[in-house]
């Protein structure tokens, strides 16, 4: 009896399934399946929108040509700046090298990092140092004046306002990192450290305030610690030692050092969307100049920022005073000395140009 039960029930199950299939087919024919008319199109499969490219450029290898960063969208706010204006700046990194003319650097195969970075940012093609020798140019960059100094000196101190005084008054922070410096606030030249390449030690507002000097003018070894700790200030000044600055060593040596340092900056969270890296030279090899204010040779200056279109070349005549004016305008500060002179054009066109 039990073996016969499936045989008798089998036809009923099959019949029910057939009835259900017939109903489904009828529903399709009449356009009434699951309540949706047959004429309603099936929506297309959605494709996720591509993710926005990272604003952080690829970190270049220390000794090879850096890789190009992600291009900036064409609707960047800097495109709307009026002539002569500078966008609001966040953290600024300033690196300065020694005694090379523009043509000795740009296009030189022994400087792949410098030339690679020039292609990734803005190259100032008509930027001129103020004078010879080195030291007065450092004063011009941070104070807007050479104060009549025409030599490399150890004791020509100045009681005058300086960029970092303005920064502190505005609530910002700063620190100078000097490679080869034996200890913070060191006031002498000891190879490979050259005091004349450290302008902050020549201003009384810094050198005569021990607490300020000891905390703000420090050996370059502190840079790596501050970078890793996420404690870099708003203004980061970096001077290589007498070899890595290309003063006493080949350009290739300075170029390799540059690749390492800039790579570490661009690969860190410290390099934000409103950051700026300035790479320049204190003086050139000749007497070329411009603007009635500069006669220290034509130098190769590169600006790197997420706010600058890669590949820009700016032919505007600039001087070291133009660099200072750009920083002060970008931070909303008054223009010091000859940075505010009518003959000085702040570095501004790079923010508006497209390659």
160-207 pLDDT, tens digit each: 999 999 999 999 999 999 999 999 999 999 999 999 999 999 999 999
Taking residues 237-264, what's their average pLDDT? Answer: 98
**pLDDT tens, residue by residue, 19-61:** 433 443 344 333 333 333 333 332 322 222 233 233 332 233 3
Taking residues 329-345, what's their average pLDDT? Answer: 98
Confidence (pLDDT) at 213: 98
Confidence (pLDDT) at 186: 97
Percentage, residues of the chain above pLDDT 90: 75
Confidence (pLDDT) at 208: 97
Weakest mean pLDDT among 43-57, 216-230, 245-259, 302-316: 43-57
Spelled out in words, what is the top-level CATH class assigned to the domain 77-351?
alpha beta
The Cα–Cα gap between 41 and 37 comes to 9
- The ranges assigned to domains in the chain are 5-35, 77-351
Taking residues 242-264, what's their average pLDDT? Answer: 98
Query: Going along 196-334, which residue ranges are E strands?
Result: 217-219, 235-239, 276-281, 298-304, 312-314, 318-319
Taking residues 58-81, what's their average pLDDT? Answer: 48
Taking residues 76-88, what's their average pLDDT? Answer: 81
Q: What is the DSSP letter of 229?
A: H
Confidence (pLDDT) at 354: 79
Per-residue pLDDT band for 76 (boundaries 50, 70, 90) equals: low
Confidence (pLDDT) at 30: 38
Confidence (pLDDT) at 232: 98
281 pLDDT higher than 50: yes
Confidence (pLDDT) at 77: 55
Look over the chain and give the mean of its residue pLDDT values, rounded to a whole number. 84
Confidence (pLDDT) at 226: 98
Question: Do the beta carbons of residue 328 and residue 339 sit within 8 Å?
Answer: yes
Confidence (pLDDT) at 28: 37
Weakest mean pLDDT among 26-40, 140-154, 193-207, 263-277: 26-40
Between the alpha carbon of residue 334 and those of residues 40, 171, 206, 330, 337, the distances in Å are 67, 14, 19, 10, 10
| DSSP codes, 104-124 | HHTT-TT-HHHHHHHHHSEEE
Helix (H, G, I), strand (E, B) or coil at 82: coil
Between the alpha carbon of residue 104 and those of residues 23, 43, 270, 297, 304, the distances in Å are 86, 63, 31, 12, 21
Of 342 and 43, the one with more pLDDT: 342
């Amino acid at each position: 009896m039990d073996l016969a039960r499936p045989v008798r029930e089998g036809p009923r199950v099959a019949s029910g399934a057939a009835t259900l299939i017939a109903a489904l087919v009828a529903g399709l024919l009449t356009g009434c399946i699951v309540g949706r008319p047959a004429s309603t199109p099936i929506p297309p499969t959605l494709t996720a929108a591509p993710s926005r490219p990272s604003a952080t450029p690829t970190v270049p290898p220390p000794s090879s040509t850096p890789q190009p960063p992600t291009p900036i969208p064409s609707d960047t706010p800097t495109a709307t700046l009026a002539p002569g204006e500078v966008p609001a700046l966040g953290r600024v990194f300033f690196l300065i090298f020694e005694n090379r003319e523009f043509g000795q650097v740009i296009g030189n195969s022994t400087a792949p990092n410098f030339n690679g970075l020039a292609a990734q940012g803005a190259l100032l093609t008509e930027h001129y140092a103020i004078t010879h020798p080195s030291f007065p140019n450092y004063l011009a960059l941070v104070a807007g004046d050479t104060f009549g100094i025409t030599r490399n000196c150890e004791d020509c101190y100045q009681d005058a306002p300086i960029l970092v005084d303005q920064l502190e008054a505005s609530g910002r922070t700063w620190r100078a990192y000097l490679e080869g410096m034996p200890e913070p606030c060191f006031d002498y030249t000891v190879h490979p450290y050259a005091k004349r390449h450290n302008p902050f030690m020549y201003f009384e507002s810094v050198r005569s305030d021990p607490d300020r000097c000891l905390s703000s003018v420090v050996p370059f070894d502190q840079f790596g610690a501050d970078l890793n700790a996420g404690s870099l200030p708003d203004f980061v000044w970096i001077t290589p030692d007498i070899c890595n600055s290309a003063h006493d060593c080949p350009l290739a040596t300075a170029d390799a050092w540059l690749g390492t340092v800039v790579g570490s900056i661009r690969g860190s969270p410290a390099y934000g969307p409103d950051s700026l890296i300035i790479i320049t030279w204190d003086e050139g090899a000749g007497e070329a100049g411009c603007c009635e204010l500069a006669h220290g040779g034509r130098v190769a200056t590169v600006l790197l920022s997420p706010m600058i279109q890669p590949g820009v070349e700016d032919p505007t005549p600039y001087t070291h005073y133009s660099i200072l004016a750009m920083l002060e305008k970008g931070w909303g500060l008054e223009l010091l000395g000859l940075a505010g002179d009518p003959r000085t054009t702040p570095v501004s066109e790079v923010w508006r140009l497209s390659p």
